[in-house]
Structure 1
């Protein structure tokens, strides 16, 4: 038998190859383990995100019931818990959900409001005041309609009669002596915005400078823009969780961009050609200029004090005025139980205006434009050719059929609440 010597170089090469293979195997094992661990963490994160969204969707449906911060344990095995807080942001509900799973957490915030099926939606709800509704000109009412016992009639104003084929294009039902009520918690919240204490921390204020953009996330405390006098919003961008307040008046220039913010003042004036998505809440007047575009979900709200004094000066009358060629998508609301201004409209929509959404008025509306959605009002009025006509609609249209089925924005209780929009 012959023995062959193995050269040292060959042995070293074999050992090196074995070492390389061992290292590669080790790296492969670590890689597989890391990938498995990462996949588990990814699955956990995805599950946490999905749970957060599911909780928010579920809790938004019973928004009118709970508004406190709620803590709950979802899964004890993987230490998953959630925190839910419900409040208001203007005329819309706001639901905040934070879900934690081990070291991971995820937050979701959304605006919510009531939703109705097509067959449940009301085109017009006119409060019982022992007066019929008189329609004139090219007026059209379409959808389920609640009217006083004296019903609806065709009328004439200065030689202009009613030109429609039907008085109402839809089912007619009997209305009550009071309007369906908005949630008390909502109206209390709207009232509180006028007397809300100012922040103590200087870091919670925004000092505006022309040309600048200011953004605040809804996951952070609200920031405030405040002026004791008249506040002019000129060439600025305000986005997010921002409250703009004035003790007298806020004026919004067309050069200003507003997104998701709330404006609070006795008077609010929106300049011609303004575009944005915001909520304006006042106690006296809201004036919207011509050719404005207020996108969904906006709102215009007046909560006025009850008054038994007649006001002769038009600049002192409480009202929401929307000028011609303006489009508004969202909620218009005028709240005032008692007034002696029986010959003035509290909401005035001029010709070629379009409102898509929900209009609620505890007094009188002058409708010269179009409402695609639902109207709840105590009465109508129109001032034509030097005369005042009570409970008349002249060339105005109301149609809940024109409103998309997906519209969310009916702030009543006992409805199916859905997501208006996701916040950030």
Structure 2
């Protein structure tokens, strides 16, 4: 005859077995769910890469529209593509989705610039380029027919052995034309008078997966001193001052004139009609850009001034439709450094020494010494094309012949 305790023991064992079996079923269900999730994630990742490849293709020319595609026409591999202009570059967003699962990417697009080996393009105005002191030109030099010569300035001769460490080519009478479509888009934004969000706080952030947020700075207090990041366009109808404590990340700024205070550091694209001036050392991180688009009217000389000790990684350019008496000017202060490209539709003025790792294009050089102003002289100026980063990507602004589009930087 069984004791009552034996029944109790059987119940306990049965309960343990039931719990164990339930656990196995739960683990199996969880594993299956995670396995299916992993498969969906892998499939979405592949679809995301396919969508990105489509956007980076030179054949993809659809702008400012959402483009929904079924990659394999099986109604379960959908991607959403969008390409639009963001300053001097293109902005791409890709989303791959299946049921309730979505993977997305946002990035700036640049052009491969490795094929352009030119360090200098000086338009042919029937005068030679003169070099003195510790000047170095490394890379292809596109110069006037009058060529290049050594010069004796302020008691100093040229200290190098070769005038150019690279090939010599003849330049044309004018500079290569800029991308007209892109210039028109920038000019339209500079003239934008549409309503926009008033500035209501010292900071704002906007995901690049959302629509652009335009903020118009009040002309009564034209100052930017807060933190702005993402898909934000700052507009101002008067001269705008960017304080040194401002934190700008990938935003666009448009104003008639822009002043950047000493000590500022950020990544942004600044566009003006009259001038962009930096006071003292500032640092613009890659990919930054500064552009002045002159209307060709008025008595002031449109210019960009990069203050003493400043560093810029990206693009400096000026533009005017027709050459005026007061041609545009880019002025580089003493000990300043540019890693990228400089294009001046007029003059480039140096205060020696200056280092440029990349390419320079202009109609004429001007260099200021304590005693004299020299034209088409380079004194203690370094132009080194091979020093520019191998990962540097250029803009379609320069009508590059390169069709190789690549991801310039990832965005959020």
Q: Give secondary structure in 1 for the equivalent of 2:177.
A: coil
CA distance in 1, matches of 2:61, 2:75: 30
1:77 CA displacement: 4.3
1:355 matches 2:338:
yes
1:73 matches 2:73:
no
CA distance in 1, matches of 2:221, 2:313: 25
1:299 CA displacement: 0.8
CA contact (8 A) 1:345 1:366 kept: no
Structure 1 stretch displaced more, 182-191 or 86-95: 182-191
CA distance in 2, matches of 1:83, 1:9: 67
Once the two structures are superposed, the pairs formed by residues 309-320 of structure 1 within 5 Å of their partners are 311=299, 316-320=300-304
1:182 CA displacement: 3.2
Once the two structures are superposed, the pairs formed by residues 234-253 of structure 1 within 5 Å of their partners are 235-253=225-243
CA contact (8 A) 1:230 1:248 kept: no
Gap regions ≥5 residues in structure 1: none
1:321 matches 2:305:
yes
Q: Match of 1:208? A: 201
CA distance in 2, matches of 1:150, 1:99: 57
Q: Match of 1:180? A: 176
CA distance in 1, matches of 2:317, 2:342: 6
1:410 CA displacement: 4.1
Judging changes above 3 Å, is the alpha-carbon distance between structure 1 residues 64 and 162 closer, same or farther for their aligned structure 2 residues?
A: farther
Structure 1 stretch displaced more, 248-257 or 72-81: 72-81
Q: Match of 1:219? A: 209
For each residue in 1:379-423, what CA deviation from the matched residue of structure 2 results, as whole angstroms up to 9, or x when unmatched? 222344565433222322211121121112343444222222111
CA distance in 2, matches of 1:402, 1:29: 62
Q: Match of 1:144? A: 140
Please give the TM-score of this superposition, normalised by the length of structure 1: 0.87
1:91 matches 2:88:
yes
Q: Match of 2:105? A: 108
CA contact (8 A) 2:328 2:344 kept: no
Q: Give secondary structure in 2 for the equivalent of 1:283.
A: strand
RMSD of aligned C-alpha atoms?
2.5
Q: Match of 1:373? A: 358
CA distance in 1, matches of 2:163, 2:78: 57
Q: Give secondary structure in 2 for the equivalent of 1:362.
A: coil
The structure 2 residue matched to 1:417, chosen from 395, 405, 408, is 405
CA distance in 1, matches of 2:209, 2:303: 35
CA contact (8 A) 1:303 1:336 kept: yes
Judging changes above 3 Å, is the alpha-carbon distance between structure 1 residues 340 and 178 closer, same or farther for their aligned structure 2 residues?
A: closer
CA distance in 1, matches of 2:181, 2:83: 12
Q: Match of 2:48? A: 52
1:354 CA displacement: 0.2
1:275 matches 2:265:
yes
CA contact (8 A) 1:229 1:246 kept: yes
Judging changes above 3 Å, is the alpha-carbon distance between structure 1 residues 184 and 340 closer, same or farther for their aligned structure 2 residues?
A: closer
CA contact (8 A) 1:61 1:418 kept: no
1:139 CA displacement: 2.0
Q: Give secondary structure in 2 for the equivalent of 1:107.
A: strand
1:372 CA displacement: 0.8
CA distance in 1, matches of 2:60, 2:161: 41
1:234 CA displacement: 5.3
CA contact (8 A) 1:52 1:98 kept: yes
Q: Match of 1:262? A: 252
CA distance in 2, matches of 1:197, 1:52: 38
1:164 CA displacement: 2.2
Judging changes above 3 Å, is the alpha-carbon distance between structure 1 residues 153 and 251 closer, same or farther for their aligned structure 2 residues?
A: same
Gap regions ≥5 residues in structure 2: none
Number of aligned residues? 406
CA distance in 2, matches of 1:355, 1:364: 16
Q: Match of 1:338? A: 322
1:34 matches 2:30:
yes
Q: Give secondary structure in 2 for the equivalent of 1:219.
A: coil
1:346 CA displacement: 0.5
CA distance in 1, matches of 2:101, 2:198: 31
CA contact (8 A) 1:232 1:253 kept: no
Q: Give secondary structure in 1 for the equivalent of 2:363.
A: strand
1:364 CA displacement: 1.4
